[in-house]
């Protein structure tokens, strides 16, 4: 008796029908059909390679390419009909032409798109930093005012993290940009007559390493964007009032008419958790699997597509937020306070020859005096400071200058104007180089 599963790629040894529930449970076509274009492009490239290798004739190649063009046209026009027996996109296209391929081409194109969006975001941040380089604001550690910095310095600190994400994404792209066809589950086929239905198979350890790398990358990238979003959420509150989001990236309250909520930033923050969950979920799938292919690995597609869609949206929204937010320079500068110059007070003593450990202690004592008298640190008299150290003199007045404070850090990555300008020029050069890469 002929197998009722004989129409499936794997059905030759089976007798009887698959349980309809199992059929649906086994299928991935519902979400991997979006790879139709990559599937067809890969198949066309591979049949050309087969012809060059002498495995198919020129006439056979032309017939297959013509058929693939027809399948492409059906998908493009929305005329392609998915049938119940189509397990995945490869099976669907193979049914129409008996050819299948891998999702690697899809991932390569996805990476190119995300890289372009990330570069657009970084460019927006860099140009904003250049325009607003003179604005000072508090820098925070432990959510406490620490030292004065340039607003541009804060922007570029996040641009640095994103630039490293772009470089990591470029590394993944290099690994992905390799034709995977001609590989099988466990071994490499070496026969002259190759069944096209099997040509989609890959060395799965390599394939899923790349997919996992992409999920790792997305988790890290969105973690960086979530941290930036968290800062901006705080800065947009009335308590800070450092920035104001435009209405295009805000929403109102259904109860309180006065509210303007930073929903765009809150959603960026939440999407990081979504993507990390996808990555962690797939890792849990991988961790207990034996070598080579197991059907569990079908779970990568849904994770990959959802992660791509999420990162794609987040990068665009983040670019919109950064390009349109309004900076409240007076509020930022009002938030600067003399206690943030306590480290500068210690440096003042260091410049006079005192070891930093001792100078730090003296500055701490000066802070205590100011707190005891309920005055600003800058209001302590020279006489009171001299009770802490005789090295203090009238020239201590030069310490109470926020611009002087940020200008003293002129090393690479510092807050001095020259240093921030150098960072901006570095990024502009780097961005240009990235955009010129093939």
Tokens coding 233: 């959420």
Q: Which position among 142, 254, 291, 372 bears the catalytic label? A: 142
Q: Which position among 4, 253, 397, 398 bears the catalytic label? A: 253
The whole-angstrom separation of Cα 265 and Cα 271 is: 10
Identify whether 236 is a catalytic site residue. no
Q: How many C-beta atoms surround the C-beta of residue 292 within 10 A? A: 13
The whole-angstrom separation of Cα 424 and Cα 243 is: 22
Identify whether 253 is a catalytic site residue. yes
With tokens 């693939």, the residue in question is 68
The whole-angstrom separation of Cα 191 and Cα 197 is: 14
The whole-angstrom separation of Cα 114 and Cα 107 is: 10
Q: How far is CA 217 from CA 52, 165, 168, in A?
A: 37, 7, 7
The whole-angstrom separation of Cα 138 and Cα 100 is: 57
Provide the strand spans (E) within 159-291.
243-244
Question: Residue 126: CB partners within 8 Å, gap ≥ 6?
Answer: 155, 156, 159, 424, 427, 428, 431
Give the containing element (helix H, strand E) for 150.
strand 144-150
Q: Residue 397, exposed/middle/buried by CB under 10 A (0-12, 13-18, 19+)?
A: exposed
Catalytic residue annotation? 142, 253
């Amino acid at each position: 008796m002929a197998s009722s599963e004989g129409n499936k790629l794997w059905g030759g040894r089976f007798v009887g029908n698959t349980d309809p529930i199992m059929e649906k449970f086994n299928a991935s076509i519902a979400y991997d059909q979006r790879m139709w274009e990559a599937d067809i492009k890969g198949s066309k490239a591979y049949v050309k390679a087969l012809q060059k290798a002498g495995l198919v004739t020129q006439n056979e190649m032309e017939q297959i390419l013509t058929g693939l063009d027809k399948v492409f046209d059906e998908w493009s026009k929305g005329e392609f009909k998915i049938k119940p027996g189509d397990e995945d996109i490869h099976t669907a296209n193979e049914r129409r032409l008996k050819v299948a391929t891998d999702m690697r081409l899809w991932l390569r194109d996805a990476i190119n798109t995300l890289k372009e969006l990330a570069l657009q975001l970084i460019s927006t941040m860099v140009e904003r930093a250049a325009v607003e380089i003179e604005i000072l604001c508090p820098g925070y550690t432990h959510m406490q005012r620490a030292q004065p910095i340039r607003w541009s310095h804060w922007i570029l600190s996040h641009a640095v993290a994103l630039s490293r994400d772009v470089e990591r994404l470029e590394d993944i792209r290099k690994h992905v940009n390799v034709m995977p066809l001609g590989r099988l589950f466990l071994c490499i086929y070496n026969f002259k007559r190759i069944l096209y239905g099997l040509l989609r198979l890959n060395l799965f350890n390599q394939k899923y390493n790349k997919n996992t790398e992409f999920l790792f990358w997305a988790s890290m990238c969105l973690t960086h964007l979530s941290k930036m979003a968290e800062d901006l959420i705080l800065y947009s509150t009335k308590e800070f009032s450092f920035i104001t989001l435009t209405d295009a990236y805000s929403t109102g309250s259904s109860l309180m008419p006065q509210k303007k909520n930073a929903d765009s930033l809150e959603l960026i923050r939440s999407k990081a958790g979504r993507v990390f969950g996808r990555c962690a979920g797939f890792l849990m799938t991988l961790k207990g699997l034996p070598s080579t292919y197991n059907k569990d690995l079908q779970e990568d597609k849904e994770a990959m597509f959802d992660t791509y869609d999420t990162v794609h949206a987040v990068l665009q929204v983040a670019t919109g937020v950064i390009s349109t937010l309004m900076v409240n320079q007076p509020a930022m500068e009002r938030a600067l306070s003399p206690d943030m110059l306590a480290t500068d007070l210690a440096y003042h003593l260091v410049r006079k020859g005192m070891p930093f450990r001792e100078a730090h202690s003296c500055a701490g004592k000066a802070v205590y005096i100011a707190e005891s008298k309920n005055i600003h640190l800058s209001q302590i008299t020279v006489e009171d400071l001299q009770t802490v150290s005789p090295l203090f003199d009238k020239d201590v007045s030069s310490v109470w200058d926020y611009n002087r404070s940020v200008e003293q850090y002129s090393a690479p990555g510092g807050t001095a104007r020259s240093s921030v300008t150098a960072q901006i020029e570095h990024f502009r050069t780097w961005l240009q180089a990235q955009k010129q890469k093939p």
